[in-house]
Amino acid sequence: MHTHSHTTRRAVLGAGIAAAGSALLSACSRATEHGAHGAGPAVLGVEAKPVDGPVRAVKFTATPGSVELGGGRTVKSWLYGDRLPGQEVRITAGDTLALTLANHLPESTSLHWHGIALRNDMDGVPNVTQPPIRPGESFAYRFVVPHAGTYWFHPHSGVQIDRGMYSPLIVDDPKEPLSYDREWIVILDDWVDGVDGSTPDGVFAQLRKGRGGGMDHGMGHGGQGKAEPSGGDSAASESGPSRLLMGMKSDLLGGDAGAVDYPYYLINGRTPDDPSQFTAKPGDRIRLRIINAGGDTAFRVALGGHTLTVAHTDGFPVRHARTDALLVGMGERYDVLFTAKDGVFPLTALAEGKKASAMAVLRTGSGALPRPSACPAELYRRVLASASRLVPDESVALSRRRPDRTIQIKLTGGMEKFDWAFDRKPYSPQRRLVVRSGERVRLVFINVTEMWHPIHLHGHTFALAGVNGAGARKDTASVLPHRKLTLDFDADNPGLWMLHCHNIYHSESGMMTTVAYRE
């Protein structure tokens, strides 16, 4: 494994929530009973019943450090502790997680529990659900973890997610219905931090100029409307060589593959020439938990010589479906099952449309490592490119019901000005989507851009478009260029919840809004 170091720059993931957070809380607290950085009766009522189950207590530290990516490549970054990825946190559904994060970084940070339908004041959005965790301070997160599945956590501060601070959160089912012998957690990432002087903030500064030049549409941070300093170089300044990616296309993504030209692509923190290895026995039934922690890259994943059976997406079970490969957008997770064959096999994550890949290795016998460029034939056979083809398990299917409220949102912007937004309006606390507790809400996203966008909703799971909400349950789903995506969710978790593109550079430039409950 490798040590990790992570440098963070901004104060809020996605379009600078921090700058507008106080105004948002003030404007919405009357509607949600959720005061600034506190929780009123509606929010606290989510955990109204006494919780007598076990408490999982964990301490984490966000700290600068050095990480070895493989092949002797050592870079400086920001990390959780001294590991990349950060330490796995494991808990049983229904138990309480108590995690204290100590901030040893030169900037404020936060911690968001991606996919968890937790109490709103623990969601980890600075100046919206909590105060920012400033340098030298700590924050104690404590909440009941309601649902089993594969989740993860990461900062919700600026573009910090594109450094090294991310960890898996595995929530075990006390009545686990799946039968398997071993489990393999696989975290996919695109890496730029510390390579030839590059930082995610420097990349964002390059992107903000846009192909047309001169664009400065980034939202404010740190509650002051400007980026906070980051230990010596301004968050708004460019650094390193150009990382702009142009002309890379993907049929599966419907057009442009992404905007950032990453020097490395990783699985579990390792480059393909020095890969992470998972050892098992021939015949073992293995559960593979796949998490895309990348900033700007979808990955097409396949295991050489094996067929995969999809069992879950974004933590929720689906009717089992066989495939050779999966397309995984940023923030998405898939759990798959397979029976291990005898030998040495590449688990390849193709950086979709970017002419590069990451690799890990399954070893059940003797043999040489696959070549770093190993390209299993399975990558080009049956590819599950969208969870819309999956059917939810009956136990989690959203009930049939007509929506009480329908909200239509256009995804707008482009690379010329790097002006990504919802309805051509970058994030602002004055614009929010108001819902009421108990409603079935339908969100209709219409993508009028040339880029694909993975959309993530905090604090809820939704059903992909189906007959009266019959699709797979998820919290992150992609909208392809010039296509429409319809999502249904039940408004059953009061508070202020972010809705944003999980391409960190898109959300940071403005493709984000807030769902606010009005009681």
- Supply the pLDDT for residue 43: 66
Task: At 401, list the tokens.
Answer: 């019901």
- Supply the pLDDT for residue 41: 67
Mean pLDDT of all residues in 107-114: 98
- DSSP annotation string for 498-516: EEEESSHHHHHHT-EEEEE
Among 408, 498, 420, smallest CA distance to 446 is for 408
How far is 471 from 461, CA to CA, in rounded Å? 11
Residue 494 three-state SS: coil
How far is 83 from 449, CA to CA, in rounded Å? 37
The region that residue 201 occupies, defined by phi over 0 for left and psi between -120 and 50 for alpha, beta otherwise, is alpha
How far is 263 from 261, CA to CA, in rounded Å? 7
84-98, 274-288, 350-364, 427-441: least confident range: 427-441
pLDDT of 20 strictly over 60: no
Q: Judging by DSSP bridges, how do beta strands 55-70 and 462-464 pair with one another?
A: unpaired
- Supply the pLDDT for residue 385: 97
* pLDDT single digits (tens) 58-71: 999 999 999 999 99
Confidence of residue 44 (pLDDT cuts 50, 70, 90): low
How far is 75 from 196, CA to CA, in rounded Å? 9
- DSSP annotation string for 312-333: EETTEEEEEEEESEEEE-TT-E
Among 348, 351, 337, smallest CA distance to 296 is for 351
CB atoms under 10 Å from CB of 349, counted, come to 31
38-47, 261-270, 330-339: least confident range: 38-47
Mean pLDDT of all residues in 479-486: 97
- Supply the pLDDT for residue 53: 75
Q: What is the pTM of this model?
A: 0.89
- Supply the pLDDT for residue 274: 97
Confidence of residue 233 (pLDDT cuts 50, 70, 90): very low
pLDDT of 478 strictly over 60: yes
Mean pLDDT for the chain overall = 87
How far is 149 from 274, CA to CA, in rounded Å? 29
- Supply the pLDDT for residue 231: 34
Alpha-carbon distances of 404 from 167, 440, 472, 495, 514, rounded to whole Å = 37, 5, 20, 19, 19
Cα pseudo-dihedral 119, 124, 129, 134, rounded to 10: 140
* pLDDT single digits (tens) 374-421: 999 999 999 999 999 999 999 999 998 999 999 999 999 999 999 999
Higher pLDDT, 39 or 363: 363
Query: Among all chains, which residue has been given the structure tokens 């057009």?
Result: 255
